[in-house]
Structure 1
Amino acid sequence: MLHKLTALAAVMALALPTAHAQDDDEGTRARGPGSGADFSTAPRVDVHKPVQLIPLYMRDKRIHGLQPFQELVDKTPEGGVLKVPAGHYAGPVHVKKRMIIEPAGEGEVVIDGGDKGTVFVLETNEATLRKLTITGSGESHDADDTCLNIRGHGNLIENLHIADCLFGIDLKQADHNIVRNSKVRSKDFELGVRGDGIRLWYSHDNLIENNLVTDTRDMVAWYSHRNIYRGNEGRRSRYSIHFMFANDNIVENNRFYDNAVGIYFMYMEGGAARNNIISHATGATGMGLGFKESSDILLENNEIIYCAVGVGSDLSPFQPDTTIRFVNNRFAFNGIAIQLTSELGGNEMHGNTFEGNLTDVFQAGRGRAEGVKNKWEGNYFDTYQGFDRDEDGVGDTPHEEYAYADRIWMEIPNARFFKTSPVLEMLDFLERLAPFSTPDLQARDPKPLYIKPERRIEGSAS
């Protein structure tokens, strides 16, 4: 701690120019103290909480008779391989050296934390954990009680079974790690008080691949850039993946079922989501893809089906002269396929399929000319009412989405329950037949596809 304070004091001294320098540099004096400081060589200061492991004697008595797993770790030299005999072992475990840990044979190796604190901390680089079962963390959100806490770089984590844990796998300031082929499940709590299944915090360039995450709270990436989420499956959680201030992340070939929200992009720039299946994001807040003040994101070849809202977008794209591109996605059997709230244009829709949705497009709080701010071209709508006389596969007339009596259920959410009732259907028919007011244009596709395109999700039999 003393050397960190000394280094910090040195940096602060560099940031404060001398009186002589201020006299000689009018520009610096005008801009204020510290304006010319160079922080490129400043020491990196860790900002996460230090590791605090609760000792074994303070954990549940059921694990007091088990062999402490830490003993095996301590006996293994730096760079060595720890072949663990099958059996049950007691946590906590703190690995601070490069090593490989894996079972000696086919039997199961279980490390139990005794329902108190964090079970396993990996605070090293280029280590490997393989085919372990880690269970029994504590229940404290304040302490981030976790089954596996990773605080190093270049580690390989594979084929783990994480169960009965508040937080499953927690990466803190951990880069270039691989987490794959693992199963993660939280404690049997109500949804809002579970922990996150896989969490990245200030962690970059990691690969999260082929994991099964069930019955957790969220899978999150906060302040974490250039990570790849590939081939994962998420079920019965809140957010399948929640990005916040996390740029250039890739989400591909994942399957998310029965979660409240599929993928949510919040304050994010860059990145892509492609070849994912998001299904049955239902309930009052059900949403397949969500955007909040995000920019420059590509959504390509995804299946968004049976969701309350397929896409919910607020002030996105946010940065000037940026776009959010939707290419070759399928939106089917959703309540609202695309919902744009307070958006400013910049969304581009190409080659998407809209079928079986109660409403394809809904723009809230916009004038009737605002529907043309976004670019729609070459999409398929099962509600298209035109023809294709020249048989070129493109409709002869544009497809236009208008809001008629729909405004009742759009502006009064409680009325959505009656969306397909005879009364609202009759009002909608009368409005279209003889509108009492000018309807609001929601979207206009000048070249709608006449025949539904064939599609295939990579890695899926559908």
Structure 2
Amino acid sequence: MRKLCLIALISSYIFANELQNAIDSANSGDIIELGSGIYSGNITINKPITIDGKDRSAIIKGNGTGDVIKINSSGVRLLNLTIENSGNSHNTIDSAISCDGASRVEIINNTIQNSLFGVNFKQCNDSKIVNNFITSKPVDLGLRGDGIRLWYSHDNIVENNHLHKSRDMVVWYSSNNQIRKNYGEYGRYSLHFMYAGKNLVEDNIFKYNSVGIFFMFSSGTTARRNQILSSTGAFGVGIGMKDTSDFIIENNTLAYNARGLYLDQSPFQPGTTNIYENNKILYNTIGVQFHATLHKSIFNHNNFIGNMEVAINDTPGSKIDINDWSQNYFDDYAGFDRDKDGIGDIGYKNFTYLDSLWQYYPNLRLFYGSAIMSILNFISKLAPFSEPQLLITDPNPKMEPYHE
């Protein structure tokens, strides 16, 4: 193993091909150390080498077209670099770093900026994306690229990255990945899964995004100890589930979102269940929104505190009563605990009355919280003029919130 040291000129590109020449001349296993300066990007790496910028003061700058760095070899390591100025094409997924068909790649401790997409893994396995700061082009949200993109990529670790003003982090057709301790803010989907099974999502913090985490057409994943806060917009969602099966959602904090949980035909496969346990669902407009419920979910030991509505069902005919609720805490529970066992003496029941109008007819939400709606809803609870819908029955509600 050799160490090759390069120093670029900050003020110019006199040695435009210097870095690519060093890569082409390197042997497998060599380390190329870059001194402070600007290096021409649009480079291709076809052998297992390390490029180390030491303190991120080495800038690899693309020419504004295509990928800044293309990795076509296993065993490549990019460390401590600043990478910027990719192309602008969504069709070709112009990225700061593109990895295609490799394994054991490490992208560690880099700054990625002014690049449409950040790190794009295509069929890259057993690799690491760790401790990077990633932001997209300074354009409107819908025109940005994804900060991290896993496509048919398995057994990877995505850890401790900070995504700021990118579009999404996506995991598509990818399994057995560990996505943990990341921080995502001011994006669209902090984390978006499609056809991705048996992944682990833990200890992430996502805030000020349109959606925290959305799982679609996936199964067998665990999401735990995540904090999803202040998902913005009328459809802001903490955790969304679309056609998912056999999920475990536990110990998460979902707070200040338009919807804490949004469950769309989940579970999807007959005979499967999704489990929601020990979650804190706090101060959302809606705690849980059910859409097209057909199969059973299990809700145990969750805290519902400060939500404007604990739950709603927006689909007439959904099988809401199929769900299993046990030992959850509801701050609107009005029962007693005479034997002091911590469990309410009577079960908790959550009905919808006049509110079902705005659940089924979203335009009426304009009047939600108005004096007339409050009066009509109060009257309907005293003397219902339509059949109320029972959404939740918890026979053993807790008297005090769950604490870890």
Structure 2 length as normaliser, TM-score? 0.94
| Partner residue in 2 for 1:412 | 361
| Partner residue in 1 for 2:335 | 386
Q: 1:118 is aligned with what amino acid? A: D
Call closer, same or farther: CA 1:162–1:335 in 2, change over 3 Å: same
Give matches, 1:110-125, under 5 Å: 110-125=59-74
Aligned CA-pair RMSD? 1.4
1:86, CA displacement in angstroms? 1.7
1:74, CA displacement in angstroms? 1.7
Identify unmatched segments of 5+ residues in structure 2. Answer: 1-10
Contact 1:367 1:440 in 2 (8 A): no
| Partner residue in 2 for 1:265 | 215
Give matches, 1:6-85, under 5 Å: 64-68=13-17, 69-85=19-35
Q: Is 1:179 the equivalent of 2:154?
A: no
Where 2:135 maps in the other structure, the secondary structure is strand
Alignment partners' CA distance in 1, 2:332 and 2:252? 21
| Partner residue in 1 for 2:4 | none
Alignment partners' CA distance in 1, 2:78 and 2:362? 49
Alignment partners' CA distance in 2, 1:391 and 1:412? 43
Where 1:220 maps in the other structure, the secondary structure is strand
Q: 2:169 is aligned with what amino acid? A: M
Q: Deviations over 1:148-205 (max 9, x none)?
A: 0012101111001100000000000000001100010000111111100000011001
| Partner residue in 2 for 1:446 | 395
Where 1:165 maps in the other structure, the secondary structure is coil
| Structure number with higher helix proportion | 1
Q: Deviations over 1:221-242 (max 9, x none)?
A: 1111111101000000000111
Give the alignment partner of residue 75 of structure 2, picking from 105, 123, 126. Answer: 126
Call closer, same or farther: CA 1:75–1:235 in 2, change over 3 Å: same
Q: Deviations over 1:221-265 (max 9, x none)?
A: 111111110100000000011100110111000000001011111
Q: 1:278 is aligned with what amino acid? A: I
Where 1:270 maps in the other structure, the secondary structure is coil
Q: 1:173 is aligned with what amino acid? A: Q
Structure number with bigger Rg: 1
| Partner residue in 1 for 2:324 | 375
Q: Deviations over 1:409-437 (max 9, x none)?
A: 21221222332221111111101111112
Q: Is 1:215 the equivalent of 2:136?
A: no
| Partner residue in 2 for 1:32 | none
Where 1:452 maps in the other structure, the secondary structure is coil
Q: 1:417 is aligned with what amino acid? A: L
1:327, CA displacement in angstroms? 0.3
Q: Deviations over 1:295-345 (max 9, x none)?
A: 000000000000011111111111111011000001111111101101113
1:92, CA displacement in angstroms? 1.0
Where 2:114 maps in the other structure, the secondary structure is strand
Give the alignment partner of residue 155 of structure 2, picking from 205, 212, 232. Answer: 205
Q: How many residues align?
A: 392
Where 1:124 maps in the other structure, the secondary structure is coil
Identity, % of aligned positions: 39
Structure 1 length as normaliser, TM-score? 0.83
| Partner residue in 1 for 2:372 | 423
Where 2:358 maps in the other structure, the secondary structure is helix
Q: 1:453 is aligned with what amino acid? A: Y
Alignment partners' CA distance in 1, 2:15 and 2:337? 74
Alignment partners' CA distance in 2, 1:128 and 1:84? 13
Where 2:23 maps in the other structure, the secondary structure is helix
Q: 1:271 is aligned with what amino acid? A: T
Where 1:432 maps in the other structure, the secondary structure is helix
Q: Is 1:437 the equivalent of 2:379?
A: no
Alignment partners' CA distance in 1, 2:70 and 2:286? 44
| Partner residue in 1 for 2:58 | 109
1:209, CA displacement in angstroms? 0.3
Q: Deviations over 1:48-106 (max 9, x none)?
A: xxxxxxxxxxxxxx975454321221222111111122210011110110111113x54
Runs of 4+ in structure 1 displaced over 6 angstroms? none
Contact 1:130 1:158 in 2 (8 A): yes
Q: Is 1:317 the equivalent of 2:267?
A: yes
| Structure number with higher strand proportion | 2
| Partner residue in 2 for 1:194 | 144
Where 2:378 maps in the other structure, the secondary structure is helix
Contact 1:63 1:114 in 2 (8 A): no
1:371, CA displacement in angstroms? 3.2
| Partner residue in 1 for 2:107 | 157
| Partner residue in 2 for 1:38 | none
